[in-house]
Amino acid sequence: MNTSAPSDWLLYCRPGFERDCAEETGLQVIEAQPNSGFIIVRGKLRVPFAQLVFARQRIRLVSKAEALPERDRLTPLLAALPDAPTAFSDLWLEVPDTNEGKTLSGFTKRFQLLLEARLHETERLVNNSPAPRLHIFFPDKTRALIGISDLRDSAAWPMGILRLRMPVDAPSRSTLKLAEAFETLLSEEERKQWLRSGMTAVDLGAAPGGWTWQLVMHGLKVQAVDNGPMKGSMALHPMVQHLRQDGFRYQPRRPVDWVVCDMVEQPSRVAALMARWIASGMAQHTLFNLKLPMKKRLEALEQAFDDIRNQMESAHIRYRLAAKQLYHDREEVTVLLTKIKKR
Ligand code: SAM
């Protein structure tokens, strides 16, 4: 897909974060209604999907259909489909992640079957191919925005939402955040290599134990640091050592593979702490949440990332820094900082 040509881009985001999502692209804003869950920007979007913190999906708009009649929406939609590319690997009918959007999902499910059948007939839908994905996004019942996404530069799940089932014996819903972070911020190979039985982790701000639960399920031994109580299966688990200590002062006796942190604190404090763990060699990888302020969120994030980069550079460490506002995040983003090993 040619990403260097100026285009209109459709990005999905958590409702309430439209301004942050638009600001991050640095492009001209065409549409960014508060709490709508999506934005449209115009220009050359050079930032790849993985580097956009607030975008859940990145779609290049190619066409649209407006004033769709209630009786027959299929004819004008088929007419609005682009001639190129000639084939798509998938067809996703999507709606905003809002209450209004949910009321449209019954309609999109029915419509999906009709459209898919038509695209198969004309051999434009070739499943399991590397061709781009076709997205038809309905901001409401009368309007459809039609776009394409590159499989290597987009989220791999409809609406950019990774839906996960709450594990029955995990002590808190926060467990889903870490599960989503592993899926989103690590590659399959990294998950295999970095989350193995026998590895070790420190969980700062661990109680009641949702993140610890994820680590234990991957076979890691966990030092769970929190003054609060660990609950359920994590209260007395043989792989978990609960330490009632201050997460900002705690240091393990030996370096660990992972340190994760979900303490509710100022983003700059948490970022500096995590960078210290990596710079000092106390941990190899870290995943942590940065709670966003009400205002100037992007500025606060940039500041935190600059502090991390400065610490890494002064310690002469090669690293990877990636951040996303995950579906299971609220007023926060999840950050991965990992040391790149010398070959
Ligand atoms: N990740 C946890 C889970 O999945 O169940 C939830 C963590 S909760 C959002 C934040 C936790 O951070 C609280 O249990 C709180 O006691 C702990 N906390 C806050 N400040 C802390 C500190 N300075 N040291 C240790 N724990 C702290």
At which residue do the structure tokens 């404090």 appear? 269
Q: How confident is the model at residue 343 (pLDDT cuts 50, 70, 90)?
A: low
The set of protein residues with a Cβ atom below 6 angstroms from ligand 1 is 171-172, 174-175, 205-211, 225-228, 246-248, 262-264
Atom of ligand 1 nearest to the CA of 172: 5
CA-nearest residue, atom 15 of ligand 1? 205
pTM, full prediction? 0.95
The answer to whether the peptide bond before residue 208 is cis (omega within 30 degrees of 0) is yes
Probe target for ligand 1 pocket from 262, 329, 331, 332, with the most ligand atoms within 8 Å of CB: 262
Report pLDDT digits (tens) over 101-160: 999 988 898 899 999 999 999 999 998 899 999 999 999 989 999 999 999 999 999 999
Ligand 1 centroid distance, CA of 227 (Å): 8
Pairing of strands 221-225, 240-243: parallel
| Residue tagged active-site, from 291, 295, 296, 324 | 291
Check residue 5 and give its pLDDT. Answer: 64
Calculate the average pLDDT of the chain. Answer: 95
Ligand 1 centroid distance, CA of 140 (Å): 40
Report pLDDT digits (tens) over 158-202: 999 999 999 999 999 999 999 999 999 999 999 999 999 999 999
